[in-house]
């Protein structure tokens, strides 16, 4: 399971002209699911996402987590993160999870985040989404579980 996390001051997802998910300060998580990912993988990644210290403290040092600042989480499925781009000029998606498995893992990740007490918004799985964000910093990291 792969996540690209971006520290944002605001972000939203639009599908067919309608906003389906929106947050203020927090993290935009682009989530890619691979074939071998299981609930334990999602739990480990969620622990990293929620506890990763990338928000500024009083000394303007990256020392606070999403939980510390009581920030919000916008989770967007993005199967292209599972692409193999090492060879050629076209990505291979052979390691990406099937849509059924990916949707289950995506929904599990979101539900576990809510159970942790996080404020969570989402995109729409497998939809053509337009993601709008104000990347704060910019600060962007790629995390794997």
Mean pLDDT of all residues in 64-83: 97
Q: What is the pLDDT of residue 76?
A: 98
Q: What is the pLDDT of residue 68?
A: 97
Q: Which two tokens stand for residue 74?
A: 């916008």
Are 125 and 9 within 8 A, CB to CB? Answer: no
Percent of the chain having pLDDT more than 90?
Answer: 99
Residues known to be catalytic:
78-80
Q: What is the pLDDT of residue 110?
A: 98
Q: pLDDT category, 128, cuts 50, 70, 90?
A: very high
| pTM summary value | 0.96
Q: pLDDT category, 107, cuts 50, 70, 90?
A: very high
What total of structural domains would you count in the chain?
1
**Which residue segment(s) compose the domain that 22 sits in?**
2-144
Q: Which two tokens stand for residue 50?
A: 């929620």
Percent of the chain having pLDDT more than 70?
Answer: 100
Q: How far apart are the first and last CA of the chain?
A: 6
- What CATH number is attached to the domain comprising 132? 3.50.80.10
């Amino acid at each position: 399971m792969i996540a690209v996390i971006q520290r944002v001051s605001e972000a939203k997802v639009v599908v067919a002209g309608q906003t389906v998910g929106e947050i203020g300060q927090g993290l935009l998580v682009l989530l890619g699911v691979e074939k071998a990912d299981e609930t334990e993988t999602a739990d480990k990644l969620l622990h990293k996402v929620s506890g990763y210290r990338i928000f500024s403290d009083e000394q303007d040092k990256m020392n606070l987590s999403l939980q510390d600042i009581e920030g919000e989480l916008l989770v967007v499925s993005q199967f292209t993160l599972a692409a193999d781009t090492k060879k050629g000029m076209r990505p291979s998606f052979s390691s990406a999870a099937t849509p059924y498995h990916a949707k289950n893992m995506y929904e599990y990740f979101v539900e576990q985040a809510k159970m942790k007490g996080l404020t969570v918004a989402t995109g729409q799985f497998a939809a053509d989404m337009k993601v709008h964000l104000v990347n704060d910093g910019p600060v962007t990291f790629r995390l794997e579980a």
